[in-house]
């Protein structure tokens, strides 16, 4: 499995506190979708137009449309904006499938740039019409270690009227990447340099909202988390083998889950005495497992602090370490047992604010997805 990391480098048009470019990324087991929308004009009006267009494309995909169909529907609707006072946005929409094939559709937007082994190449589109509008289609193989760069025209038109007739163009950006790329260097520094150059060649300021969205295909940091016993006792042995063959770090969350792993894999459970964690969820030591702890209370506490600054958590605890492990991971394999613990259904747990496992798991997943994590849920 590979992971498409995204890095955004963006500057507002000089004098504006709101950016008219909007970017959104969504990861599922079906692939990664990344969209760059450039609203017409600048400021709040352009921002609203960009957000509306990006969310429309995403919603079409969520409802089952292909990327091509979603882009065609949104592009066709933009034709009205040429004669009516409705929001208009140019866009680039990319999808990278699990087998590393990429497809990018551009509408009134600059061509994407592919970077392989330090050499940047502007992709040539296949142009076709949809309704009264034209769309560019780009396809190819996104190899591990390579980059894809999507830009708004604030980047490609930089320098227009300042010695560049039509701006620096995608070719100028690609040339700059090829000339300055260093294998051992930070490509983020290179992107920041290109962003600054867009201002430098435009009279010292960004004359339009400027966006560089860099996608990087790399090996992911993976994590496997088991919580809750499976729905049938006959599934225990199979359930235990998941953690044995897991890639990356492993977490077991739940006392019954730990008992299953201990019994089926013949490994002992030893309590860990952590004086700095007095009053916190208990933690245990199981050979081959990176973190083992209690279930419902730990998960509730993880949800409460996930996304907060961990430096403010002075105590060393399993909650803090679980949060750190989740935050450091790109892909989280979440295995959830469907057996119901009747004790957790007691109203006392609701009274003290402890959500049942199935509820808090959903809330944690939602937080992780908003952070850009790929969460793969499997129920047993």
> Would you state the pLDDT for residue 167?
93
Q: Report domain extents, the chain.
A: 3-218, 222-379
Q: What are phi and psi of 203, to 5 degrees?
A: 80, 20
- For 3-218, CATH number? 3.60.40.10
| pLDDT tens profile 143-164 | 999 999 999 999 999 999 898 8
> Would you state the pLDDT for residue 83?
80
Q: Which residues contact 295 (CB under 8 A, 6 or more apart)?
A: 227, 228, 253, 254, 255, 256, 257, 357
The CA distances from residue 341 to 234, 254, 306, 379, in Å, are: 17, 11, 25, 16
Query: Does residue 223 contact residue 333 with C-beta atoms inside 8 Å?
Result: yes
Separation CA 10–CA 376 (nearest Å):
30
Q: With helix as H, strand as E and coil as C, how does 302-344 read? A: HHHHCCCCHHHCCCCCHHHHHHHHHHHCCEEEEEECCCCCHHH
> Would you state the pLDDT for residue 116?
95
Going by C-alpha positions, the residue among 85, 83, 13, 18 that lies closest to residue 50 is 18
Report, as ranges of residue numbers, the positions in the chain whose pLDDT lies below 50. none
> Would you state the pLDDT for residue 51?
96
Separation CA 360–CA 354 (nearest Å):
9
> Would you state the pLDDT for residue 351?
60
Measured over the CA atoms of residue 170, residue 173, residue 179 and residue 182, the dihedral's sign is: negative
Separation CA 103–CA 119 (nearest Å):
20
> Would you state the pLDDT for residue 353?
66
The CA distances from residue 331 to 45, 54, 295, 379, in Å, are: 36, 24, 21, 17
Query: Does residue 126 contact residue 172 with C-beta atoms inside 8 Å?
Result: no
> Would you state the pLDDT for residue 315?
73
> Would you state the pLDDT for residue 341?
64
> Would you state the pLDDT for residue 131?
84
> Would you state the pLDDT for residue 163?
87
Separation CA 131–CA 116 (nearest Å):
35
Per-residue exposure over 361-378, b if at least 16 CB sit within 10 Å of its own CB, e if not:
bebbbebbeeeebbbeee
> Would you state the pLDDT for residue 347?
59
Q: Which residues contact 183 (CB under 8 A, 6 or more apart)?
A: 118
Residue bearing tokens 């609701």: 350
Q: Which residues contact 19 (CB under 8 A, 6 or more apart)?
A: 10, 11, 12, 13, 47, 209, 211
> Would you state the pLDDT for residue 56?
95
Query: Does residue 61 contact residue 73 with C-beta atoms inside 8 Å?
Result: no
Measured over the CA atoms of residue 269, residue 274, residue 275 and residue 277, the dihedral's sign is: negative
Going by C-alpha positions, the residue among 194, 168, 169 that lies closest to residue 181 is 194
Separation CA 94–CA 142 (nearest Å):
11
């Amino acid at each position: 499995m590979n992971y498409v990391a995204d890095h955004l480098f963006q500057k507002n048009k000089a004098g504006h506190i709101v950016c008219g470019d909007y970017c959104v990324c969504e990861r599922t087991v079906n692939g990664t979708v990344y969209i760059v929308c450039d609203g017409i004009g600048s400021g709040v009006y352009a921002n609203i137009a960009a957000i509306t267009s990006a969310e429309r494309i995403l919603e079409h995909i969520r409802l089952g449309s292909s990327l091509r169909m979603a882009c065609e529907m949104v592009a066709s609707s933009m034709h009205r904006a040429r004669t009516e006072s409705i929001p208009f946005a140019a866009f680039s929409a990319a999808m990278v499938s699990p087998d590393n094939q990429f497809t990018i559709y551009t509408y009134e937007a600059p061509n994407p740039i592919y970077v392989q082994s330090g050499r940047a190449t502007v992709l040539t589109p296949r142009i076709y019409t949809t309704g009264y509008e034209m769309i560019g289609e780009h396809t190819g193989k996104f190899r591990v270690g390579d980059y894809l760069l999507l830009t708004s025209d604030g980047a490609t038109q930089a320098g227009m009227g300042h010695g560049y007739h039509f701006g620096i163009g995608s070719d100028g950006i690609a040339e700059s990447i090829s000339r300055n790329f260093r294998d051992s260097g930070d490509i983020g520094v290179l992107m920041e340099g290109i962003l600054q150059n867009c201002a430098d060649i435009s009279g010292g300021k960004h004359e339009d909202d400027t966006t560089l969205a860099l996608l990087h295909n790399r090996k992911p940091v993976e994590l496997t988390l088991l919580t809750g016993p499976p729905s049938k006792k006959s599934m225990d042995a199979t359930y235990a083998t998941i953690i044995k063959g897991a890639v990356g770090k492993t977490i077991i969350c739940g006392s019954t889950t730990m008992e299953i792993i201990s019994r089926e894999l013949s490994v002992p459970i030893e309590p860990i005495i952590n004086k700095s964690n007095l009053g916190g969820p208990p933690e245990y030591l199981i050979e081959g497992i990176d973190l083992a702890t209690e279930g419902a209370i730990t998960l509730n506490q993880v949800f409460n602090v996930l996304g907060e600054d961990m430096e403010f958590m002075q105590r060393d605890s399993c909650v803090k370490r679980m949060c750190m492990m989740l935050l450091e991971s790109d892909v989280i394999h979440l295995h959830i047992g469907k057996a119901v613990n009747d004790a957790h259904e007691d109203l006392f747990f609701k009274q003290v604010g402890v959500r049942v496992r199935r509820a808090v798991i959903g809330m944690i997943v939602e937080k992780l997805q908003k952070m850009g994590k790929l969460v793969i849920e499997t129920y047993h």
